[in-house]
Amino acid sequence: MGNRSARIWLTTASKMSGLCSDKCFSASLKSRSSYLGFYLLVVLVNSESLSEWTQEHGLDVEERYITYSQNYMRLTNNLFQVKNVLAVGVRTNRSVLLLDLANRPPDHLLDFKAMQHYMAPRKIYYLPALLSSRWNATWDSIGLSMVHEPIARLAANRCLTFNGHTNLGGSKLWHFQNPPIDLGHWSALEHFLKHDRSEQVEVLCDRASLWSVAENIAPVPIAARLRDESRRILAELRATTEKGLGTALSPAMRENQLRLIPKISETKVLSSSAGGVQLSGL
Amino acid sequence: MEKWKLTRTKVPLERELSLGVHYRRTDFAQLGVNVSTLIEELQMFVVHRNVRKIFIATDAAWEELQHLRQRLPSNVAITCNALSALCAIPEEALLIEQGICAQTDYFLGSPMSTVTLNIHHMRDKLYGKSPLTSILTNKELVRGSWRPQIRLRSLASAEIQQFATLQGWKY
């Protein structure tokens, strides 16, 4: 599922499921002859629980999972969120259902093998439920084929929140049958997951708190081709000189530097051949 | 800082060291760092830490980018847009720039920035860089319980002393 050649399911759930509440569903089923009723029937048929969805896609019914309701809108926070969820999954012995990264599959930006290795013996699965058509223009450029598949909104029993926020962010994909459980702070999450195993799939609903943990984050590197490109650029950086940077200073700062540097150079033994600090150029 | 003195001993610096900079702008632009103060810090890295290769990752607006380019030597790389075709896609550009900053000898980051924290984490966990090589441009504004393991001061004398010790210098 995580390979470059993986199929990508493009969901229309956000468009289809956000127009009516559950109460509206039952009412509309009674008038199937109407267009609205037909439309809502389609929505109802396409609705399924998160557990069913995961089983249909080959996930282990005996396994326990953790996922999040919505990814960050910004990539860097998204990466941080993914790493945090991976770390929590490892520490609480749960597999991870990973949502898309900025509308891209995770193996495109992150090293998916590294993520799998980090999660072992638990697993990490890609849950491409929030894909949108925003990046259609770039799919071809990265060699991914897509399968357009109508997908339901995902129904779960509850979601876990922090600091009193639900932060669903307007997503119409999810439907939670019960009110959220406010854990107060991210640090309470692991304790909760270890002691409450009533849910097969736990969904984290809070986006704002996901970055509040800054230790023991999963060390997941970026994809190899991006890493190699960064190494190439780093290797090809051209060296600058102190003199060049000295001219970049404002007159006041340059004066400060000149006051500081002679105090150092008075006692420092300069050696131009050793590649050491060159102070005389200023 | 005015009192410290450097004396070269046995271990010479054979290699030109590199510095990655994450110069966070937009909504972080009011945290006290501007082009002038950034250049001053770069100058200190060059003078005191033998840094010769500098890469700056930034989300600065076009006007500030031009200001930065005008005041820095052309050898200083600012963003990767002109260095790689992959950087045409914003997400890839960001990760490539993070990758560069994660592998440089020193890293100068912006406080409160998730990108900075991510780079610092990559340096620490993936590349085995010393936490002392990650430095923030200005004092960290701690919000809530989020306390990154990054030095809160830039080029403090204790850091310079430790660096000099590692390099075989005495002062």
ipTM: 0.78
Six-digit token string for B162: 């430790």
Domain extent for B146: 17-152
- Pair A45, A139 in one domain: yes
Domain extent for A137: 8-228
Answer whether residue A236 is part of any domain. no
Residue A217 contacts B where some CB pair is shorter than 8 Å: yes
- Pair A251, A175 in one domain: no
Task: Using only the alpha carbons of chain B, give its radius of gyration.
Answer: 16
Determine what percent of chain A is predicted with pLDDT higher than 90.
Answer: 9
- Chain A hits for B97, CB-CB cut-off 8 Å, are 230
Answer whether residue A233 is part of any domain. no
A147-170: per-residue pLDDT in tens? 445 455 677 888 888 766 665 555
How much is the average pLDDT of A20-27?
34
- Pair A66, A130 in one domain: yes
Answer whether residue B64 is part of any domain. yes
- Chain B hits for A101, CB-CB cut-off 8 Å, are 91
How much is the average pLDDT of B66-71?
90
Answer whether residue B7 is part of any domain. no
Six-digit token string for B105: 């000898």
Answer whether residue B12 is part of any domain. no
Backbone angles phi, psi at B136, to 5 degrees: -95, 150
pLDDT on residue A83? 84
- Pair A207, A111 in one domain: yes
Answer whether residue A80 is part of any domain. yes
Best B8, B47, B69 residue to mutate vs chain A (most A CBs within 10 Å): B47
How much is the average pLDDT of B135-150?
48
- Pair A107, A44 in one domain: yes
Answer whether residue B91 is part of any domain. yes
Backbone angles phi, psi at A176, to 5 degrees: -105, 130
CB contact under 8 A, A233 and B77: yes
Measured in angstroms, the CA of A74 and the nearest CA of chain B are apart by 9
pLDDT on residue A277? 28
Q: How confident is the model at residue A15 (pLDDT cuts 50, 70, 90)?
A: very low
Determine what percent of chain A is predicted with pLDDT higher than 70.
Answer: 43
* Total of domains in chain A: 2
How much is the average pLDDT of B113-125?
83
Answer whether residue B167 is part of any domain. no
DSSP result, chain B: -TT---B--S----S-EEEEEEE--GGGTTSS--HHHHHHHHHHHHHHH-EEEEEEEE---HHHHHHHHHHS-TTSEESSTTT-GGGGSHHHHHHHHHHHHHHSSEEEE-TT-HHHHHHHHHHHHTS---GGGEEESS----BTTB--SSBSSSS-HHHHHHHHHHTT-B-
- Pair A197, A248 in one domain: no
Backbone angles phi, psi at A37, to 5 degrees: -60, -40
How much is the average pLDDT of A97-103?
71
How much is the average pLDDT of A69-88?
75
- Pair A219, A245 in one domain: no
Least confidently predicted of A159-168, B23-32, B70-79: A159-168
How much is the average pLDDT of A104-114?
79
Measured in angstroms, the CA of B146 and the nearest CA of chain A are apart by 6
pLDDT: which is higher, A208 or A199: A199
- Pair A251, A214 in one domain: no
A211-258: per-residue pLDDT in tens? 545 456 788 888 899 999 999 999 999 998 766 676 555 556 555 554
| β-pair partners for A266 | none
How far are the Cα atoms of A67, A187, A207, B75, B127 from residue A70, in angstroms, in the given order?
9, 20, 7, 41, 30
Answer whether residue A235 is part of any domain. no
Nearest Cβ partner of B8 from A79, A253, A276?
A276
CB contact under 8 A, B8 and A269: yes
CB contact under 8 A, B5 and A237: no
* Total of domains in chain B: 1
- Pair A102, A161 in one domain: yes
Sign of CA dihedral B140, B146, B150, B151: positive
- Pair A94, A55 in one domain: yes
Answer whether residue A82 is part of any domain. yes
Answer whether residue B76 is part of any domain. yes
